[in-house]
Amino acid sequence: MSNNSANHSHSSEKPKRPRRTFSEDFEWYAVNLVVNEGYTKADAARAVNVGCKTFRDWHAKFAPEPEPCGEGATADQLKEENKRLRKQHRQVRLT
């Protein structure tokens, strides 16, 4: 009895797809779905058929900074702003 398992060890692996590239206009259009159309990041990524990580990179590149909370901000808005600012601070410290 011969052992053919060594010959077929990679047969279940999917071939790699070529890396897709997108124009900046397309990336901006995708980010606009979140910024102006009310999509979540996950929904926008699905709508344009890209991964969430790719979409997050595009969002960081093109989305405007959120406006600071004003005097009439809700507790939830303040929590979100605090979370965003802490993350931004952490990133600045790491660079």
Per residue in 66-91, pLDDT (tens digit) is 788 888 889 988 998 888 888 878 87
Alpha-carbon dihedral sign for residues 58, 64, 69, 72: negative
Q: Domain spans of the chain?
A: 21-63
- Full-model pTM: 0.59
CB 59 within 8 A of CB 34: yes
The Cα angle at residue 33 between residues 28 and 36, in degrees rounded to 5: 100
In CATH, the architecture of 21-63 is: Orthogonal Bundle (1.10)
Mean pLDDT of 41-60: 95
Contact 10, 41 (CB under 8 A): no
Mean pLDDT of the chain: 85
